[in-house]
Amino acid sequence: MPFIARKRPGLKTTRLSAAWGVLMSRPNHRTRPASTRTSKHRRFAMIEFRSYRGLEDQGVKAFSASRIVIGSAKQCSLRVTGLAMGGQHAFVEKRPSGYFVKDAGLLAGTRVNGSRIADYGPLALGDELAFGLWRFRVTRIELDPALGADIAPAAHSKSLGMLVNDAACRTSPSPGLTDLDLDHRGVQSPVPLPHAFVSASLKGQCLKLMREVLDSRRRDWGALTEESVRTETLALIRSELKAQLDELTAHQKRQLEAELVADLVGLGPLEELMRDGSITEIMVNGPSQVFVERNGQCQPAGLGFAGVDELRRVIDRIFIPMGRRIDDGHPMADGRLADGSRVNAVLSPPAIGAPSITIRKYRAQAFSLADLAKASGLDSRVVDYLVEAVESGRNIVVSGGTGSGKTTLLRALAMQIPKAERIVSVEDAAELHLKSQNVVALEAREANQEGQGQISIRDLVRNALRMRPDRIVVGECRGGEALDMLQAMNTGHEGSLTTVHANTPRDALSRIEVMVMMAGFELPLRAIREQIASAVHLVVHQQRLTGGQRTISEIVEVAGMESGTIQIEEVFSLRNGFRDGLLPQANAAGWL
């Protein structure tokens, strides 16, 4: 039964009013002056993020909770979308020394200032958390005064809490930083710093103005080196945009100048990825869909293009200097960047929705066989076997799937060719860059706009036979050049090397049969197989494992013909290991 206050005879108050009077007679912190309140009531913490999706500013969000959940689930404090994003992807936690970000251990991972982390902190102003296309930059931190020294020593003059803004506390990177330099918390931090310190609207206005300036100059940029073009462009930016640059901080100014130069005469946002030594491949599926490969794993890059027009301008800047045609009439092109990286582009409509770019970055420091074995944990006897096979002049075919590391292995094998021998290399796009004393590198060429001037790999292989080669190295056999390659191997050019796309060593031999038939000669299948059996000595199969690791998974010897079938004998496999006692100078193929 609910309590009802009843008035007793002779009493001026009810039980309810008496209780209320007692309650109201107690001290009330709400009615006290602020100066008399206890200090614990102003001990609080708050962190604020500015969020970006690609280059689009999504606004500012502030949090006072001690734990902030980041993920794709609806209940998360900061929601991130994408196929690789987990329901609870990462956490921002308040600890005694400040705010820390902790990764949940998912495949896509968490990156802070460009570096992948597991547990990172304390967070400081300007730090940027990246999750695929999403980025969250710390723009404000408020902490108890007792904790201020751990976050931003420069802001101790603030009386209430620890209130600072991002513009006042940004620091400039030290000169000469590389992608392996450490930041003030001992974490590897790639250069440059995050891509979005300057608003997209300001950058867009500056880009539009500078394009008008460059168009009006009508400078013959083609007569200048790349370094000269960048130097002149930077000088124009500083003179034409002086008013805009003077309103920015020193770091913002440098960041905007670098981005404008990259967008006007470089590769735009891709330049940041090209400088990152941990990235092996860059894949652009559209303006806002940029992915990279690190350690054999694909992951979102966390940046993008302003639109399709900007992406198309970058494609033109890549291929026009090469003399390669790419337009609506010829929407696909392959090429090689100045640093040796291989690039492929496809325009719409073949690329549905938006143009596509794929860049396989060139590694200047080549891997040796010993390096590859160490990275993949191979038996040292496998390395000794392959070194002996190359030095003794065995013809070797490297097989494997796309992105399995065939070219890397081919380059490592070619490094074992004796220095005194003359090498002629033939490639569609030069990637090997062999360092031998006596080497000639040949590169195929596409037809010009008139449909003339094409030089195919087959033309180059046939021409290589007239160049007095001791060894012929063909980057990849994918057509009729396989017949010319077999003829070269069978006519005194032993020790030649090439690669083919195949799933197994047996499939590699079958593919060579098919490619020989593509040469246009109606040769009997038995004759083709006899040519293969006598020309090819070894097939080395390269494979990319589930975790992204690339390794040699199988080595087989070609042991002649029997009953119309090419016979192979396993030398090594990941499953069975290495066969003891089998060396190139004494094996089933009859090597000397």
**Above 60 in pLDDT, residue 387?**
yes
Q: At residue 319, does pLDDT exceed 50?
A: yes
pLDDT computed for residue 92 by the predictor: 94
Query: Mean pLDDT throughout 462-477?
Result: 90
Q: With contact defined as beta carbons under 8 Å apart, do 312 and 287 qualify? A: no
Cβ(541)–Cβ(552) below 8 Å: yes
Ramachandran area for residue 62 (φ above 0: left; ψ -120 to 50: alpha; else beta): beta
Looking at per-residue pLDDT, the higher value among 499 and 83 belongs to 499
Residue 239 has pLDDT above 50, yes or no: yes
Residue 537's pLDDT is what?
93
Task: Using the Cα atoms of residue 520, residue 526, residue 531 and residue 532 in order, give the sign of their dihedral.
Answer: positive
Q: Quick one: pLDDT at residue 505?
A: 93
Determine the average pLDDT of the residues in 256-265: 84
Residues 378, 370: contact at Cβ < 8 Å?
A: no
What integer pLDDT is reported at residue 584 of this predicted model? 47
Region 209-230 average pLDDT: 73
Q: What is the mean pLDDT of the chain?
A: 77
**What is the β-pairing status of strands 67-71 and 78-79?**
parallel
Nearest to 113 by CA among 104, 105, 123, 103: 123
Residue type, 157: S
Q: What is the mean pLDDT of residues 236-242?
A: 84
Range 165-174 average pLDDT? 33
d(C-alpha 460, C-alpha 141), whole Å = 64
CATH for 200-360, among 3.30.450.90, 3.50.50.60, 3.40.50.2300, 3.40.50.150?
Answer: 3.30.450.90
pLDDT of 472 strictly over 70: yes
Q: Using a pLDDT cut of 70, give the percent of the chain over it.
A: 79
Please report the DSSP string for 327-391 in residue order.
BTTB-EEEEE-TTS-EEEEE-TTTSSSS-EEEEE---SSPPPHHHHHHHHT--HHHHHHHHHHHH
pLDDT above 80: residue 364: no
Q: Would you state the pLDDT for residue 12?
A: 43
Q: pLDDT at position 59, please?
A: 86
Could you state, in order of their start, the residue ranges of all structural domains in the chain? 46-142, 200-360, 369-586
Q: Which is more confidently placed, 220 or 477?
A: 477
Q: What is the pLDDT of residue 75?
A: 86
More confident residue, 83 or 160: 83
Bridging pattern class, strands 439-443 and 471-474: unpaired
Candidates 409, 385, 388, 387; CA nearest to 397 is 409
Q: What is the pLDDT of residue 509?
A: 93
Average pLDDT over residues 477-506: 88
Regarding the domain with residue range 369-586, which homologous superfamily does it belong to in the CATH classification?
Answer: P-loop containing nucleotide triphosphate hydrolases (3.40.50.300)
Pick the CATH number of 46-142 from 3.90.1150.10, 2.60.200.20, 3.50.50.60, 3.40.50.300: 2.60.200.20
- Give the type of residue at 250: A
**Rounded alpha-carbon distances, angstroms, from residue 74 to 88, 101, 339, 566:** 10, 20, 45, 60
Between 15 and 420, the more confident residue is: 420
pLDDT at 322: 79
Mean pLDDT calculated for residue range 458-487: 89
pTM, 2 dp: 0.58
DSSP 582: -
